[in-house]
Amino acid sequence: MSFQAYLDSVQAQTGKTPDDFRTLAAEKRLSKHGEIIQWLKTDFALGHGHANAVAAVLLKSDLRKAAPDERADALFTGKKAHWKAAFDALWAEVSQFGDDLGMAPTESYISLLRGKKKFTIVQPSTAERLDIGLKLKGMQAAGRLEAAGSWNSMVTHRVRVSKATEIDAELLEWLKQAYGAS
């Protein structure tokens, strides 16, 4: 379900728009994520995913309105800022795979898309690591190409990058395979 589909579903269920929830939350002086989630679950019988979507809009509305490049840049701030150059270099290589590439930044990672299909995610996880998730169904995990496991269910594999030089020919080949399979 897309983010907008969550918000549409909430409006259909409650009759309230994000602006309505923003007003009500302000009246109740709710400003923390957990408080907003609990309020939405209790007072409006929303499930966790739907409550989380509304909370995200209330707490990060300026980021949601930002252009994709701005949302991507927001992931590379503070101690993670040094990963921006590595991501830009990776994107420059990946963008040569075809003319149907795009990116869709979220609040925690950037989806790389072929058309509308996600084939990779890039997440500046910590100051020490950039995680790259790949959709490579049927490929055996080995070495640094590990099974994604519970890290992210939208991909099958993960590569943990601890220095920019690890974005190498091997990783680019896996990215190209994921692109080709999407």
Q: What is the pLDDT of residues 106-144, one digit of tens each?
A: 878 999 999 989 999 999 999 999 999 999 999 999 999
Instruction: Give the bridge partners for 161, in sequence order.
Output: 130
Q: What is the mean pLDDT of residues 3-19?
A: 86
Pairwise CA distance, residues 71 & 3, whole Å? 15
Which is more confidently placed, 56 or 84?
A: 84
Pairwise CA distance, residues 143 & 131, whole Å? 15
Tokens 């980021």 correspond to what residue?
A: 63
Q: Supply the pLDDT for residue 66.
A: 61
pTM of the model: 0.66
Q: Supply the pLDDT for residue 30.
A: 85
Q: How confident is the model at residue 176 (pLDDT cuts 50, 70, 90)?
A: very high
106-114 long-range Cβ contacts below 8 angstroms, 24+ apart: 106/71, 107/56, 107/60, 107/63, 107/71, 108/75, 109/75, 109/133, 109/152, 110/72, 110/75, 112/175, 112/179, 114/179, 114/182
